[in-house]
Structure 1
Amino acid sequence: MTVARFLVVLDADSTLIRDEVIELLADEAGRRAEVQAATEAAMRGEVDFASSLRSRVAALEGVGIDAFERVRARIRPTPGVRELTAAVHERGGVVGVVSGGFHEILDHIAPGLGVDRWLANRLAIVDDAVSGTVEGDIVDATVKARSLRAWADELGVKTHATIAIGDGANDLEMMAAAGLGLAFNAKPAVRAAANLVVGPVDLRAVIPLLP
Structure 2
Amino acid sequence: MKLVAFDFDGTLSDSEMSVLLGEQCGVAEEMATITERAMNDEIEYAESLRERVALLEGLSVEGCEAAFESVELRPGASDVIHELNDAGVVTAIITGGFGRGVESVLARTDTPVDTIVANQLEFEESELSGDVSGPLVEGTKDDALRAVADNAGVAIEEMVAVGDGANDLPMLRAAGFAVGYEPKPAVEPHCDTVVTSMAELQELLAERLD
TM over 0.5: yes
Secondary structure at the counterpart of residue 110 of structure 1 = helix
* Residue equivalent to 1:60: 56
* Residue equivalent to 1:135: 133
Secondary structure at the counterpart of residue 66 of structure 2 = helix
Pick from 147, 155, 158 the counterpart of residue 158 of structure 1.
155
Give unpaired runs (5+ residues) of structure 2: none
What is the rounded CA distance, in whole Å, between the counterparts of 1:137 and 1:207 in structure 2? Answer: 28
* Residue equivalent to 1:51: 47
Pick from 167, 175, 183 the counterpart of residue 178 of structure 1.
175
Identify if the C-alpha distance between structure 1 residues 37 and 201 changes in structure 2 by more than 3 Å, giving closer, same or farther. Answer: farther
Identify if the C-alpha distance between structure 1 residues 107 and 96 changes in structure 2 by more than 3 Å, giving closer, same or farther. Answer: same
- Deviating runs (4+, > 2 A) in structure 1? 107-114, 135-140, 199-211
Question: Is residue 72–residue 105 contact of structure 2 (8 Å, CA) maintained in 1?
Answer: no
Secondary structure at the counterpart of residue 120 of structure 1 = strand
Secondary structure at the counterpart of residue 162 of structure 2 = strand
Pick from 27, 31, 37 the counterpart of residue 33 of structure 2.
37
Matches within 5 A, 1:83-94: 83-94=79-90
Pick from 187, 190, 194 the counterpart of residue 190 of structure 1.
187
Secondary structure at the counterpart of residue 134 of structure 1 = strand
What is the number of residues matched between the two proteins? 206
Give unpaired runs (5+ residues) of structure 1: none
Secondary structure at the counterpart of residue 140 of structure 2 = helix
What is the rounded CA distance, in whole Å, between the counterparts of 1:96 and 1:138 in structure 2? Answer: 14
Secondary structure at the counterpart of residue 118 of structure 1 = strand
* AA in 2 matched with 1:146: D
* AA in 2 matched with 1:126: E
What is the rounded CA distance, in whole Å, between the counterparts of 2:31 and 2:206 in structure 1? Answer: 36
Question: Is residue 124–residue 135 contact of structure 1 (8 Å, CA) maintained in 2?
Answer: yes
